[in-house]
Amino acid sequence: MNVSKYFLLPYRESPFIVQEKSKALFYFIMTFLILIPIAITAFTIIQYHGLFGTANVTLTVLLITSVIALILLKKGRFNASANLMATVSAIILVVFLFYNGFQAKNADHLSFTFYMPVVIILTALFSPVR
């Protein structure tokens, strides 16, 4: 049994759209789980605060959130998993924006606003409409 089938087993009897959304969320979370350790390593090398800089702390929170979201997805809690990822991603993006605006004065802090559409798309794709 491959990894995706293991985590998506609770959605086997769900409607087709829920199966596809859960599969897309699984791949989104797995992408985060692969890219975040790479980003943490890069930030450890280039930032002057080292391992406990603001970027690494926020990325570690996002990594832990991704693991929790993956566990929720495995338990069949698709909506909780999607909402957790969207909420924490948006909060971390705002933290990065404020950090770069007030701490790292020479950084291009406006570039982080270009990442907000990713959070908006994440919310539009995975969060339920009520």
Q: Over the stretch 40-96, which tens digit does the pLDDT of each residue have?
A: 888 888 876 666 777 788 889 999 999 999 999 999 999 999 999 989 988 888 877
- H/E stretch holding 119: helix 116-126
DSSP letter string over 38-92?
Answer: HHHHHHHHHSTTGGGSHHHHHHHHHHHHHHHHHHHHHTT-HHHHHHHHHHHHHHH
The reply to whether 9 falls in a domain is no
Instruction: Give the pLDDT band (50/70/90) at residue 1.
Output: low
The reply to whether 45 falls in a domain is yes
The reply to whether 78 falls in a domain is yes
Show the domain range for 91: 15-126
The reply to whether 8 falls in a domain is no
The reply to whether 6 falls in a domain is no
The reply to whether 1 falls in a domain is no
Task: List the structure tokens of 99.
Answer: 């950090």
Q: Over the stretch 11-32, which tens digit does the pLDDT of each residue have?
A: 989 889 889 999 999 999 999 8
Of 130, 128, 118, the residue nearest 28 (C-alpha)? 118
The reply to whether 2 falls in a domain is no
Domain count, the chain: 1
The reply to whether 10 falls in a domain is no
State pTM to two decimals: 0.82
